[in-house]
Amino acid sequence: MFHKEGHNIILFALVFCISLVLIVDMNVADPVIKYSLIAVFIIALILILQFFRNPKRTFEPNTSQVLSPVDGKVVVIEEVFEKEYFNDKRIQISVFMSPLNVHVTRYPVGGKVVFSKYHKGKYLVAWHPKSSEENERTTVVVRSEEFGDVLHRQIAGAMAKRIVNYAKEGESVNQSDDSGFIKFGSRVDVFLPLDAKINVSLNQKVKGGISILASK
């Protein structure tokens, strides 16, 4: 199963790959070169399919938990001053996604979307200290019953060239529903109240909509 954001790209890649294979097959005589090139094209297609996969998962919404919005590895857990929306201190948890991770972004909590904003920006590597403030990004805040306002921020990286954000201010959303998609990698930051109980550790691998980042 593939995410809707990848349908056009997958179709183009499939047609392009088949065309290249046919061209190589008809014009390259050396079997070593021919089959090496064909293997490269097939591997590239497989990587694109891997990137846009959207595996079926069983989600169990829980209002007393904040779930990871994406698949990846926890690279930041720290107290920071969040200045775009809260203007006060929050606990930031950042999850880095490699190109091989599932790139669907999911709502970490359910509730009402009270803020949704897109920012143009740079394409610094995702682990750069200033990527959260200077890269292309979207900021979404959902007001939940247990945690109040929870902010998650999609951040583009050196490879990511397009962020898709589905969140619209005023709408009600369910925990683990699709919030967006980041094409070709990067990271997502989550900002939580200082009294939230953190349930993950640095370098821990997490799954979007499944792994518990924090609880009450």
Encode pLDDT of 85-128 as tens digits.
999 999 999 999 887 788 899 999 999 999 999 988 765 655 55
21: containing domain: 4-51
Residues 106 and 193 in one domain: yes
Both 208 and 125 in a single domain? yes
185 within a domain of the structure (yes/no)? yes
Which residues share a beta bridge with 94? 76, 189
Signed CA dihedral, 197, 107, 100, 136: sign only: negative
β-strand pairing of 72-82 with 65-67: unpaired
Q: Give which of 156, 142, 147 is closest to 188, Cα–Cα.
A: 156
pTM (predicted TM-score): 0.81
Number of structural domains (the chain) is 2
Q: Are residues 94 and 23 in the same domain?
A: no
Band (pLDDT 50/70/90 cuts) for residue 212 is: very high
Active site residues: 186
Asked if residue 172 and residue 78 are part of one domain, the reply reads yes
In CATH, what number is assigned to the domain containing residue 101?
2.70.70
